[in-house]
Amino acid sequence: MKLHKSIVITFCSISIIMINLFGEEMKSRNLYCVIVAGGDGTRLWPLSRQAKPKQLLPLGSDATLLEQAVDRVAPLTSKDCIWVSTTAQHEKSIQETVGKRIGRIVVEPGSRNTGPAILLSCMQIYAIDPDAVIVFLPADPFIPHRDWKKFRTFLEHAVDHAKITEEIVLLGVEPSYPSTAYGYIAFDKQEVANHNSPYKVTHFREKPSYELAEQYLEEGNNLWNIGVFCARASSFMNEFKATAPLMFEGVQRYLNNQDSYQSIISDSIDYAVLERSRKVSVLPVDFSWCDVGNIEVFLSLKQQYNTLDANFISVDSHNNLVDVPGKLVALVGVDDLCIIEVDDALLITKRKSAEEVRGIVKLLKQGGYKQHL
């Protein structure tokens, strides 16, 4: 009997291990993560360029933002089901950066905004796996490593809901201050089954004035839109058909070699689908998240994580961000500046004017400074 009991115990232990293993496999089956990695390198100039958009810059560690995005979702699904969507000009650099960690790079011949890019990936995934659930997420926000597990937990809740409904489920970050830099998602607080279920989206709000942002914060039913969302592949296809039929037909024609990619309507998925669909919900999340939207934000994060090359001294100067490798920078009587130097360019801007850096890129294009773009 002892031997028999031992065999039974061993068999049960093996069964539990197998259940755990297959449970993980079942959890990730049919789940695709598509990282959207476009960009033209204007916001973080001179650190970012056309050939090196911000997702290819390291932040908080030696890993680039794109590498961090891949690593965040890697525990959720297989390598073959992690894809990157990008334009032709970035294909080579993305292949060199994360090619060995992902399954496929979906290449747009030219940029037609996020609507066609996302639909292109949907159609390709649906063709090989009609039962797929797809998560789309941008390559360039910063989420500190300590919150990666929390990020995945929320994403799993969203995916679980998407699997059993026809809804597109967004993640929305709970606002921590009245930001004017982000779009907001308003939702119905009454319509939810449990604390892990998403709420029905009532409408989207564009980047507001400070007064409106304060109002949104007080209302308690507005979330920052972080561009992370999921749905079944079939649900995405149906909503594109319903809300953006001309775009849907254009991408179909392109895939059937009946028309050029440039002939497709250029529009964001926000305007083309999400703001028009009645099948959109949002899950409030509370992990740390930051849209690296300008050079001031980028340098502030580098300072926070002690990766600034900040060798400077100052007299009567305050609140400056300096990133000038290999040189001592002396500041006298200046406040609130961002100072960045790379091999071929030096940028000096007021911190509050960091959003205007893209205007420099416009002038470079007009002046024929191709080597600096």
Are residues 225 and 183 in contact, defined by beta-carbon separation less than 8 angstroms?
yes
What residue ranges do the domains of the chain occupy? 22-285, 301-372
Angle between helices 114-128 and 245-255 in degrees, nearest 10 = 60
Q: CA-to-CA distance for 123 and 74, rounded, in angstroms?
A: 22
Instruction: Report, as an integer, the average pLDDT of 254-279.
Output: 95
Instruction: Report, as an integer, the average pLDDT of 54-62.
Output: 93
Bridge partner residues of 144 (DSSP)? none
Are residues 54 and 292 in contact, defined by beta-carbon separation less than 8 angstroms?
yes
pLDDT in tens, 25-48: 344 579 999 999 987 778 999 999
Pairing type for strands 345-350 and 337-342 reads antiparallel
Instruction: Say whether 336 sits in a helix, a strand or coil.
Output: coil
The model's pTM is 0.89
The one-character DSSP state at 272 is I
Judge whether residue 5 has pLDDT over 70.
no
Angle between helices 91-98 and 65-73 in degrees, nearest 10 = 60
Instruction: Report, as an integer, the average pLDDT of 48-74.
Output: 94
Total Cβ atoms within 10 A of residue 177? 7
- What pLDDT score does 193 carry? 54
Q: CA-to-CA distance for 336 and 192, rounded, in angstroms?
A: 45
- What pLDDT score does 308 carry? 86
Q: CA-to-CA distance for 5 and 250, rounded, in angstroms?
A: 65
- What pLDDT score does 191 carry? 65
Write down the mean pLDDT value for the chain. Answer: 89
Q: CA-to-CA distance for 305 and 288, rounded, in angstroms?
A: 14
* Helices of type H across the chain: 2-28, 65-73, 91-98, 114-128, 148-163, 210-219, 233-243, 245-255, 269, 295-304, 357-367
Total Cβ atoms within 10 A of residue 13? 10
Judge whether residue 280 has pLDDT over 80.
yes
Bridge partner residues of 137 (DSSP)? 35
Instruction: For residue 26, report the phi and psi dihedrals to the nearest 5 degrees.
Output: -65, -35
Q: CA-to-CA distance for 255 and 262, rounded, in angstroms?
A: 13
Bridge partner residues of 223 (DSSP)? 185
- Of 19-33, 106-120, 316-330, minimum mean pLDDT range: 19-33
Instruction: For residue 169, report the phi and psi dihedrals to the nearest 5 degrees.
Output: -105, 120
Q: CA-to-CA distance for 337 and 357, rounded, in angstroms?
A: 13
Pick the CATH number of 22-285 from 3.40.120.10, 1.10.3720.10, 3.90.550.10, 3.40.50.1000: 3.90.550.10
Q: Is the peptide bond before 198 cis (omega within 30 degrees of 0)?
A: no
Total Cβ atoms within 10 A of residue 286? 11
pLDDT in tens, 188-246: 987 665 667 899 999 998 888 999 999 999 998 999 999 999 999 999 999 999 999 99
Judge whether residue 278 has pLDDT over 60.
yes
Q: Which residues of 316-327 are buried (b: 16+ CB within 10 A; e: fewer)?
A: ebeebbbbbeee
Judge whether residue 16 has pLDDT over 50.
no
